[in-house]
Structure 1
Amino acid sequence: MDYRSVWHGRERCTVLDATHDEERLKVLIDVWRTDPQRSPHLHVIALCGHLMPGMHRMPQAEPGLTVDLVNAPIDTALAQLAARVDLFRLRGLEDAGEGFVRSVARLATGDARLVGQGLTAAQIAALEGQGFVFDAVDTKTGPGVRCARFASRKPRPPAPPVPERRAIVLGAGIAGSAACERLCARGWQVTLVERHARPAMEASGNRAGIFMPLLSRDDNIPTRLTRAAYLFALRHWARLGGVGAAIEGQACGVLQLARDAEHAAVQRAIALDADYPAEFAEWLERPQAEALLGLPAPDGGWLFRQGGWARPGSVCDALLAACGRRVEQRFGVGSVTVERVGGQWEVRDARGELVAHAPNLILANGAGAVRIPQAARLPLSALRGQVSHVPAGMLPALPVVLCREAYLTPASDGICSAGATYDLDPDPALSPASHQENLERLRGLLSDPHAAEGAPLQGRVGFRCIAPDRLPLVGRLPDFDAAGSTERLRDVPRHPGLYALLGYASRGLIWAGLGAELLAAQIEGEPLPLEMTLVDALDPARFVLRARRNPRGPQANDV
């Protein structure tokens, strides 16, 4: 069929390919690229069995082009997609049964097209039962190729309105900087409002943040989210110039030691079951781990070859630099108030002077968000984290980041970072007790009870923003007062044009990029870059439903 007819007249065209093929993808993109009447945005979703499980958004150099690769059985993949598909390309499904057909119909736009190759008679009949009308057999299209149009009379969800592409982002840490970059990449004009004199002055201000995936036996929601975000971050940072170049840090690898023999046995079982690619995660037994580290590693550990450390502030700098002139930076603003006036959000400083106004406001200011009345009932806590800066000469040279319950980085500018504590103490000053805690954990990592003896009290204190379930909040903010007896996420009323990127805890360096991409896709009405199970798990409105189930409500100290 002529693909041009599918995207003509559309603001966005979404194609779903049941079998990823690089050559077929290239042909499709070339046709789109050379068509003067092309839609401004082409979004391709393709099922691919040669990646880590889950969804993978693959950064593209060309504006308007998005490619998602999904590693899951077709039934699972389509059931978890949030997208409006204009063209389905179905092939290689002879043994897939008919279970996926209902999801095809759910995802189809009102006039979607379908090209099938090798579909079984039962699959064609099931598609017809869902509203697809097949053309007569045409020998010119190739053997086994059938084309169809979606002609169901069932009501279709309306296309989301095109947003007014102006926003205020409150907070210039890693969450806010990522939000600016992802929106500006879509042509938005953004005003970034920060109370400090420059970016990354609070939780994002540490010398080093660790980037590595999370593993679990049951591949739970935090594991799946962190895996997707970690892989997205690696790809996205490469587009920004790379760690060790545009971004200060080292992609030196991370060695996560087992706690003890019992813990090692569990990790060994994960390695056998998951069969991860070595570049993603490799289990090292004691001899391998000790040969790499040059230090004792009695129970072995996980090697994450693509992991390492990066200075969060330099990631913020790279993200904001990528925004160019589309972002207006308003630093040193101090405390602000927020109000919705005539369809616009207004941000004013302590003197009442207008700082910024726009139809969309994104709260990316950590635990400070609860000072905004519309966000005051979110159960966010600020937990203190102290990092110790240890002179490199007091420690053995490390080839990788070393971690277990704590972490220790290789030297940078003569300093190794060790930490970080989790304290309920609100004191921002360096604490000798927290420093000693970091040193004790450091000694455990190095299997040396005398390491860093006499290390001076040097380091940094930051406060992490944490939700009770330790997952971030990404999406439109709920209106708690208007929620009534709502029982489903999709029915929770929301504040117009008000969004959250909050609760990044200790994983903001990894979570920020994909969180911002998810939010930007939600606002734009694009296909989402995560499975719906994960999207729902991150929805700030989850706390509306939990407050109803728990009469005392979500409490700030439920961590």
Structure 2
Amino acid sequence: MSQPVPIHPEPLARDAEGRPYSTRYGDIYASRAGALGQARAVYLAGCGLLDTPPAWAGRAQFVVLETGFGLGTNFLATWQAWLDDPQRSSTLHYVSVELHPLAAADLLACAKPALRDLAQELAAAWPPPVRGLHQLRFAQGRVRLTLALGDVRELLPRLELGADAIYLDGFAPARNPAMWEPGVLKAAARLARPGARLASYSVAGAICDPLRQAGFEVRKLQGYGGKAERLQAAYAPRWRTRRVEPRAALPAAADRRAMVIGAGLAGAACAQALASRGWIVDVLDAGHAACGASALPAGLAHVRLSPDDDRLGRLTRAGIAALRDALPAAGRDACWQGDGVLLLDTGTDSASRGDAGSVPQALALPRDVAHRVDATQASALAGVSLHRPGLWAAGGIAAAGGLAQAWLSTPGVRRRDASHVHRLQRAPCPGWARSLASEADMTTADGPPWQALDGDGRVLAQAPVCIVANALDASRLLDASGLASGLPRLPLRAQAGQAFIVPAAELGPLRGLRRGILGDGYALPLPDAAVQACGLPAGTRWLLLGATYENDPARPMPAEQAWAEIVGGLQSMVGALPATAPAAARRFHGVRAVAHDRLPCAGPWPDWAALGRLGPAALHRPAYELPPLPGLYLSAAMGSRGLTLAALAAACIATHIEGEPAPVEQDLIAALAPGRFGLRHLARLDHSIDMPA
């Protein structure tokens, strides 16, 4: 991949008249007649939000896409108009691309008095200046801002959403031509839902002509603030202009019932994500909640740092943000200690060679995302003497079981202790026939509900949406259900691991540990929720030490060997530890589900039959373009990163179901797509397959 472009906050300047001014582009931030007036007259009016009735009237969701966040005036004005309108949509999504974000204090300083209260909320939630997508929630989650930080030419083509309104903003084309390139305008058109409105203050021919070619009907109306004209357009192509249609919103009247198979972290996170959107979710599991790898009492969730800012690094940043967003309001502090993790250098990894240590500087990461620490600084942060330098990284310690239980307690989630789910099927419905007239139909069609059956063919549950989140059993269930006919089994493997809970007093060098540390092993203070769940004495400080990586779950490593391996990795960081596990220690054993490429499988399960009907060329498309089998999703293979990535996987699935803007870019959606392995297999064979109907 190309070298990542760091995000540098834009220093705010003022022109001779005191107006906000960019020295980079040599231009003021808004119309000389006023930013708020321009926002309302050009953008809100241009996109029908001030009409009678307004464009968002009666909708479950309304999505605005903007190029150039700037002072945030357009967003704040749209938010205020939404609040003031009794006919507003149930949810307002606002997605804005910005390469040079201002600081939160500058946004607040530039806010108009009428918008100042909203600006204070925005400033309080303002994300760090790190490239990628940052999702912020306001108005009890009914207003959602996705701030996409990066070059619009690179980032806009990689967004996954359906826009009802498009604001083309930014500095004047003569000052910032990159913002108005034909490729940018074409990328915006790719995201427009049928009938979407577009508005801009600029009517330059270099803008109008590409918009017409992309399918917009363009009009020039009277301008604002002394400008002769402004641009208003509607997406109404006369021919098909794109291979895949943008996300359609789930209708407000849709049947919002789902079943989730599996009550571990992945399943619990999916249940919470849907229930928080008003769904009724049945969670089926034959055992108790948080089994398998999720049974570990606690673990570390943290960002991964790499010099090239690879996919996993970007996913973990998004994952930590999604985890924080999904933390329960009640008992949050008992489940989560989010004051960062110390990633200590080892003798073998890249950090010890210096390249990982330079990542925060190379990527211009702010200190609250990651920063380099020497051994003295690391010791002060950890509360114990550490022998190695390293990195402080955003993240923390989470009580896995407590978190899963909290998610399963979300209103709308119904836990069902069910027999083993043997297979899935569509409910028999003789009068139903799914249309395959076009690829667009295949991505949006619905059908009979999914049913979960036991070994005797009895229906355990049924719902229009089914999420398979049962870890290693997912591949067997898909095969038994005939949903991967002609394809190799989903490549998941079992990787066992062991960890120990030990009284802190028994581990001299670690006695005062107050943050998680990670190197060739890890150690962390056990959160209160984990102490309670394990039935441990509350007056004792407990530490969790881990973890082994074992390839044969059927033959676990003897306890003495597991202890020696874990302690051996920790001693280079903290000094001598007991050679044998103290008598009061408790040992935990779990099995991780790991995909061959070590990334989770999260998203819609493909309709392989529909893919076959699209012809051989479809086999060489990106994985996010696979036609989905309506209503069937997978969230599995979290490996050792369940705490970091489960909430993000759930968010990706929930936004796909609802037709909301995705929380990550298309290349990351493709990296997680459960059909990626089957697609690679078919592409190698270069032929399509037939599947039973």
State TM-score, norm by structure 2. Answer: 0.73
SS, match of residue 65 in structure 2: strand
**Identity score, percent:** 31
Residue 80 of structure 2: aligned partner: 30
Residue 167 of structure 2: aligned partner: 89
Residue 180 of structure 1: aligned partner: 271
Instruction: Please show how residues 376-525 of structure 1 align to structure 2 within 5 Å.
Output: 377-395=489-507, 396=510, 397-410=512-525, 413-427=540-554, 431-432=558-559, 433-446=561-574, 448-451=575-578, 453-456=580-583, 458-478=586-606, 484=612, 485=616, 486-488=619-621, 489=623, 492=626, 494-525=628-659
Residue 316 of structure 1: aligned partner: 404
SS, match of residue 59 in structure 1: strand
SS, match of residue 135 in structure 1: strand
Residue 531 of structure 1: aligned partner: 665
Q: Distance in 2 between matches of 1:144 and 1:216?
A: 50
**Structure 1 position 183, deviation (Å):** 1.0
Q: Distance in 2 between matches of 1:140 and 1:393?
A: 71
Matched, 1:148 2:235: no
**Structure 1 position 482, deviation (Å):** 7.3
- Mapped contact 2:563–2:580 kept (Cα < 8 A): no
Residue 554 of structure 1: aligned partner: none
| AA partner of residue 329 (structure 1) | R
SS, match of residue 475 in structure 2: helix
**Structure 1 position 298, deviation (Å):** 4.8
Q: Distance in 2 between matches of 1:451 and 1:275?
A: 41
* Ranges in structure 1 where 5+ consecutive residues have no aligned partner: 552-559
SS, match of residue 32 in structure 1: helix
| CA displacement, residues 274-295 of structure 1 (integer Å, 9 cap, x when unaligned) | 1211111011133433444465
Q: Distance in 2 between matches of 1:310 and 1:9?
A: 40
- After the TM superposition, which of the residue ranges 117-126 and 175-184 deviates more from structure 2? 117-126
SS, match of residue 100 in structure 1: helix
The 1:160/1:24 distance shift into structure 2, 3 A limit, reads closer
Q: Distance in 1 between matches of 2:367 and 2:634?
A: 36
Q: Distance in 2 between matches of 1:232 and 1:120?
A: 40
SS, match of residue 355 in structure 1: strand
| AA partner of residue 38 (structure 1) | R
- Mapped contact 1:168–1:360 kept (Cα < 8 A): yes
- After the TM superposition, which of the residue ranges 359-368 and 58-67 deviates more from structure 2? 58-67
| CA displacement, residues 462-502 of structure 1 (integer Å, 9 cap, x when unaligned) | 11111000111111223567755533336645544221001
Q: Distance in 1 between matches of 2:284 and 2:332?
A: 27
* Ranges in structure 2 where 5+ consecutive residues have no aligned partner: 1-44, 102-128, 429-447, 528-539, 686-693
**Structure 1 position 422, deviation (Å):** 1.1
SS, match of residue 325 in structure 2: helix
| AA partner of residue 424 (structure 1) | N
- Mapped contact 1:200–1:312 kept (Cα < 8 A): yes
| CA displacement, residues 145-168 of structure 1 (integer Å, 9 cap, x when unaligned) | 623122432336384664532211
Q: Distance in 2 between matches of 1:168 and 1:272?
A: 45
Q: Distance in 2 between matches of 1:401 and 1:205?
A: 19
Q: Distance in 1 between matches of 2:210 and 2:418?
A: 61
- Mapped contact 2:218–2:232 kept (Cα < 8 A): yes
**Structure 1 position 356, deviation (Å):** 0.8
Residue 555 of structure 1: aligned partner: none
Matched, 1:370 2:475: yes
**Structure 1 position 334, deviation (Å):** 4.2
SS, match of residue 355 in structure 2: helix
- After the TM superposition, which of the residue ranges 282-291 and 332-341 deviates more from structure 2? 332-341
**Structure 1 position 380, deviation (Å):** 0.8
**Structure 1 position 61, deviation (Å):** 4.3
| AA partner of residue 102 (structure 1) | K
Q: Distance in 2 between matches of 1:79 and 1:505?
A: 30
The 1:39/1:255 distance shift into structure 2, 3 A limit, reads same
- After the TM superposition, which of the residue ranges 18-27 and 523-532 deviates more from structure 2? 18-27
Residue 213 of structure 1: aligned partner: 303
Q: Distance in 1 between matches of 2:229 and 2:332?
A: 46
- Mapped contact 2:198–2:232 kept (Cα < 8 A): yes
| AA partner of residue 65 (structure 2) | L
| CA displacement, residues 368-400 of structure 1 (integer Å, 9 cap, x when unaligned) | 112212467211112101112222112221132
- After the TM superposition, which of the residue ranges 130-139 and 497-506 deviates more from structure 2? 130-139
Match of residue 346, structure 1, among 444, 451, 456: 451
- Mapped contact 1:113–1:147 kept (Cα < 8 A): no
- Mapped contact 2:519–2:570 kept (Cα < 8 A): no
Q: Distance in 1 between matches of 2:232 and 2:331?
A: 44
SS, match of residue 500 in structure 1: strand
Matched, 1:72 2:150: yes
Match of residue 254, structure 1, among 336, 341, 344: 341
SS, match of residue 476 in structure 1: strand
| CA displacement, residues 126-184 of structure 1 (integer Å, 9 cap, x when unaligned) | 33443434433414466476231224323363846645322110011111111111111
Q: Distance in 2 between matches of 1:331 and 1:521?
A: 27
SS, match of residue 668 in structure 2: helix
The 1:537/1:287 distance shift into structure 2, 3 A limit, reads same
**Structure 1 position 358, deviation (Å):** 1.4
Residue 391 of structure 2: aligned partner: 302
Q: Distance in 2 between matches of 1:300 and 1:120?
A: 55
**Structure 1 position 192, deviation (Å):** 0.7
**Structure 1 position 70, deviation (Å):** 0.6
Q: Whose Rg is larger?
A: 2
- Mapped contact 2:383–2:515 kept (Cα < 8 A): no
Residue 355 of structure 1: aligned partner: 460
Q: Distance in 2 between matches of 1:430 and 1:331?
A: 32
**Structure 1 position 119, deviation (Å):** 6.3
Q: Distance in 1 between matches of 2:684 and 2:207?
A: 46
- After the TM superposition, which of the residue ranges 459-468 and 152-161 deviates more from structure 2? 152-161
Matched, 1:201 2:291: yes
SS, match of residue 366 in structure 1: coil
Q: Distance in 2 between matches of 1:332 and 1:341?
A: 19
SS, match of residue 244 in structure 1: helix
- Mapped contact 1:91–1:119 kept (Cα < 8 A): no
**Structure 1 position 63, deviation (Å):** 4.9
Would you say how many aligned residue pairs link Structure 1 and Structure 2?
Answer: 543
Q: Distance in 2 between matches of 1:43 and 1:291?
A: 42
- Mapped contact 1:257–1:402 kept (Cα < 8 A): yes
The 1:184/1:64 distance shift into structure 2, 3 A limit, reads same
- Mapped contact 2:425–2:450 kept (Cα < 8 A): yes
The 1:185/1:252 distance shift into structure 2, 3 A limit, reads closer
**Structure 1 position 229, deviation (Å):** 1.1
Q: Distance in 2 between matches of 1:499 and 1:471?
A: 16
| CA displacement, residues 343-367 of structure 1 (integer Å, 9 cap, x when unaligned) | 2322234555432111221101100
Q: Distance in 2 between matches of 1:103 and 1:170?
A: 37
The 1:277/1:112 distance shift into structure 2, 3 A limit, reads same
Q: Distance in 2 between matches of 1:164 and 1:411?
A: 41
- Mapped contact 1:428–1:461 kept (Cα < 8 A): no
SS, match of residue 525 in structure 2: coil
- After the TM superposition, which of the residue ranges 516-525 and 374-383 deviates more from structure 2? 374-383
